[in-house]
Structure 1
Amino acid sequence: MEDRIKQSFGKQNLMQTLGAELVSIERGMVKIACSFSDTLTQQHGYFHAGVATSILDSACGYAALSMMPEKAEVLTVEFKVNFLRPADTSKLIAIGKVLKSGKTLVICEGEVYDEAEERLIAKMTATMITINS
């Protein structure tokens, strides 16, 4: 499972563009980090919401994939994000967790924290679908 997720993550050009990295992989939980860069900011100098959303979507997706059969792939069906504060930090830490895993759909919850994992920046609920390859 861990190797499959690492290989898939390595194919995501967006994650490479953002400089995101896999921090940890467990069954039902994945953590992804992204360090600050001026190229990832919005007009006030904070991380852009799109960066936080992208790494959180991937964290939830890979958490879902960790619960799926070996030959399955994952796609996002939908998500909702609430931003609780500006992403004024040197690193974003996105944690995706599976709430309920079914045959076809996997419901996930995700959170984005600051570099110390003390300040909650955003929360996501997401639905992922199993794609049989």
Structure 2
Amino acid sequence: MEIIKQRERAYSWGNPLEGVELSKDLSGFEYLMAIKRGEAPASPLINTLDFSLVELEEGKAGFCFEPQEFHYNPNGCVHGGVITAILDSAMGCTLHSLLPKGTVYTTLELKVNFLKMVHFKSGVLTATGKMIHLGNSTALVEASLTDKSGKKYAHAVSTCMLLKNE
């Protein structure tokens, strides 16, 4: 039996705990803008999975990625966890962009529908979040993963609980 040659990948990230401290003095949108400008560290997950923040406004966030081998499962397509992660990132930042200073959130429920197989040929895909409902204690947000022509590959909905950041 032939020994499989392993590939390598290197990347770096900023200290996420520094960002947590910084976020306590900013609204959610101000904090996300600080990340976008490079003044606060992004989540290490973004670098680990090679996602890019491509859209940010109050009530909307978008991330893109280009499927690579390191995203693949043993079946030769992008792992569902990677797709879930980019959808969750778009939904989380969409919600975060609307939070006042001193408020954070955590996911209560996450549902993903996988509509098409994602692989190299899919090209760059973008996950864009959209608010459905923002209440005093819970929020409902959705996101879709699409290609440049608008073809939908996955859709997710998340229920989040709002908390005071202490």
What is the CA distance between 1:45 and its match in structure 2? 2.4
The alpha-carbon deviation at position 54 of structure 1 amounts to 0.3
Tell me how far 1:11 sits from its aligned partner.
3.8
Tell me which residue corresponds to 1:39: 70
* Unpaired stretches in structure 2, ≥5 consecutive residues: 1-27
Tell me the TM-score normalized by structure 2. 0.72
Which protein is richer in strand relative to its size? 1
Mapping for residues 25-64 of structure 1, pairs under 5 Å: 25-64=56-95
> For residue 109 of structure 1, what is the aligned residue in structure 2?
142
CA contact (8 A) 2:60 2:94 kept: yes
- Cα shift at 1:117: 4.5
Q: Secondary structure at the match of 1:67?
A: coil
2:164 matched to 1:132? yes
Q: TM-score, normalised by structure 1?
A: 0.89
Deviates more, 1:2-11 or 1:58-67: 2-11
Q: Deviating runs (4+, > 6 A) in structure 1?
A: none
Structure of greater Rg: 2
- Give 5+ residue unaligned stretches, structure 1: none
Percent pairwise identity: 27
Shift of 1:102: 0.5
Structure 1, residues 19-59: CA drift from partner, whole Å, max 9, x if none?
11111111111101112211111223222111110011111
Match of 1:83 among 110, 114, 121: 114
**Aligned-pair CA distance for 1:126:** 0.5
Number of residues paired by the alignment? 132
Say what the alpha-carbon RMSD is for the aligned residues: 1.9
